[in-house]
Amino acid sequence: MSDIVDLTAAERTRILAKSALFDPPPAGLADGRRDLVGLSRAELAAEMASIDEAAFRVKQLWHWIYHQGVTDFSRMSSIARPLQRKLAERFVIGRPEAAVEQTSSDATRKWLFRFRDGQQAETVYIPDPVEDRGAVCVSSQVGCTLSCRFCHTGTQTLVRNLGAAEIVGQFMAARDAYGEWPSPKGETPRLLSTIVLMGMGEPLYNYANVAKAMTIVMDNEGIGLSRRRITLSTSGVVPIMDRAGAELGVNLAVSLHAVTDALRDELVPLNRKYPIADLMAACRRYPGASNARRITFEYIMLKGMNDSEAEARELVRLIAGMPAKVNLIPFNPWPDSRYEPSGKAALERFSGIVNAAGFAAPVRTPRGQDILAACGQLRTEGRRPRGQ
């Protein structure tokens, strides 16, 4: 047993070290000013100390940056003018720049954000068709190291990780676009109140930055999203799943897509490293798995590949006893993709079997397909600079 634990710990260390090689360049501007977005409270305190300001400034700044969404020091009315000027000389409160913004016929909105080094990633806002709220789907990497067969992002190699500032920045820029910060009357924003880490990249292969960004958005004196309003989707990086569960405790979504190792090896090549049995064991260990906090299993429905009745029954066997729900995602095609989405009858049969076993198994309606904003359609032109 201890051997297994040690091996997992060693593997985790190896993954985290390798991931750090893909971190972004330092978050400063050409003129030497530093971006305050994306710093932890401790880092912000260190910046204040470096300009001889007291630690209580951290609380003030945190409120303005993350609660009020202010990007201009001169609007920080609880801070005296001379200090506002001093801060503006040394720091910025940055946002990624929206290079392209598109709105789908179903009101889904997609941004292509450009970061300081010119790399780009996509972010999608998915309004809830019934309730007056919605989810922001953020990217965690430019490209992806993995190459799932059905995924457009997977056709792009990993260019680099997104930093914490860039991950939080996507959400903050989306809030800017909707004017979703507290009004002077104190009304709290509602529309952009959920984050799904389901954009480009594998969040658990960029765990350090993702964890830092989520710690910032969960901080009660700032954006203050509860962990229940955040869902992290992984293709199954087993050694990091435990860590994410213990440290962040956000909702977990697992991209399963196949019920046999033979097929999953092909569709989600990471399965060769962490096969289904290991993945399921990690799901069963995931903390907080109670009926209120079910694990979501994502299952792309690919015509004639993984959508048979026998596979539905096997899926039920795999997740038996787990607090779980299954999201059936009709395959979203992209240019040159080689699969076809399952037909309506197959979707209904599959969903019916999983449902009858006591698991919710909704068929997800693709959103934003006309602007290539649906699951698995995101991709940018980013390339890794030569020599790296």
Residues within the interface to ligand SF4 (CB under 6 A): 144, 146-148, 151, 153-154, 201-202, 235, 255
Residues 312-341, one symbol each (x = binds ligand SAH by CB under 6 A, - = not), give -----------------x-xx---------
Neighbours of 321 (CB within 10 A): 6
Q: Which CB atom, from 34 or from 364, has the smaller least distance to ligand SF4?
A: 364
Q: How far is CA 216 from CA 120, 224, 226, 247, in A?
A: 22, 8, 11, 13
Residues 6+ apart with CB under 8 A from 382: 119, 120, 121, 142, 143, 156, 159
Assess contact for 147 and 129: CB atoms under 8 A.
no
Residue 264's identity, in one-letter code, is R
Nearest approach, Cβ of residue 366 and ligand SAH (Å): 7
Least CB distance from residue 147 to ligand SF4, whole Å?
6
Smallest gap from Cβ 122 to ligand SAH, in A, equals 11
Rounded Cα distance between 39 and 323, Å, is 35
153, 141 contact by CB (below 8 A): no
295 binds ligand SAH (CB under 6 A): no
Listed in sequence order, the DSSP H helices in the chain are 2-20, 41-50, 56-62, 81-90, 164-177, 207-218, 238-247, 261-267, 276-285, 309-319, 344-356
CB of 181 to ligand SF4, least distance (A): 30
Q: What sign results for the dihedral spanned by CA atoms 55, 57, 61, 63?
A: positive
CB closer to ligand SAH, 91 vs 150: 150
Mark the segment that binds ligand SAH (CB under 6 A) among 9-17, 128-136, 158-166, 229-237. Answer: 229-237
User: How close are the terminal C-alpha atoms of the chain, in Å?
Assistant: 39
List the x/- string, 128-157, binding to ligand SAH by CB under 6 A: ----------------------xx------
Out of ligand SAH, ligand SF4, none, what residue 331 binds, judged by CB under 5 to 8 A for its kind, is ligand SAH
Query: Based on CB atoms, which residue is closest to ligand SAH, 19 or 255?
Result: 255
**Using the rule CB under 6 A, which residue among 375, 379, 380, 382 binds ligand SAH?**
375
235 touches ligand SAH by CB under 6 A: yes
Chain centroid offset of residue 200 CA = 8
Partner that binds at residue 375, options ligand SF4, ligand SAH, none, CB closer than 5 to 8 Å by kind: ligand SAH
CB of 160 to ligand SF4, least distance (A): 14
Cβ atoms 65, 36 nearer than 8 A: yes
Q: Report the residue number, 39 or 372, with the smaller CB distance to ligand SF4.
A: 372
DSSP 3-state of 2? helix
**Nearer to ligand SF4 (CB atom), residue 44 or residue 305:** 305
Instruction: Pick what 299 binds: ligand SAH, ligand SF4, none; C-beta below 5 to 8 Å, kind-dependent.
Output: none
| Least distance to ligand SAH, CB of residue 329, Å | 5
Mind giving me the DSSP string for 123-174? EEEEE-SSSS-EEEE--SEES-S---TT-SGGGS---EEPPHHHHHHHHHHH
Residue 147 binding target from ligand SAH, ligand SF4, none, CB below 5 to 8 Å by type: ligand SF4
Residues tagged active-site: 122, 375
Query: Whose CA is closest to 24, among 208, 282, 234?
Result: 208
Return d(Cα 115, Cα 20) in angstroms, integer.
18
Provide the binding-site residues for ligand SAH, judged by CB under 6 A. 150-151, 198, 202, 233-235, 255, 298, 300, 329, 331-332, 375-376
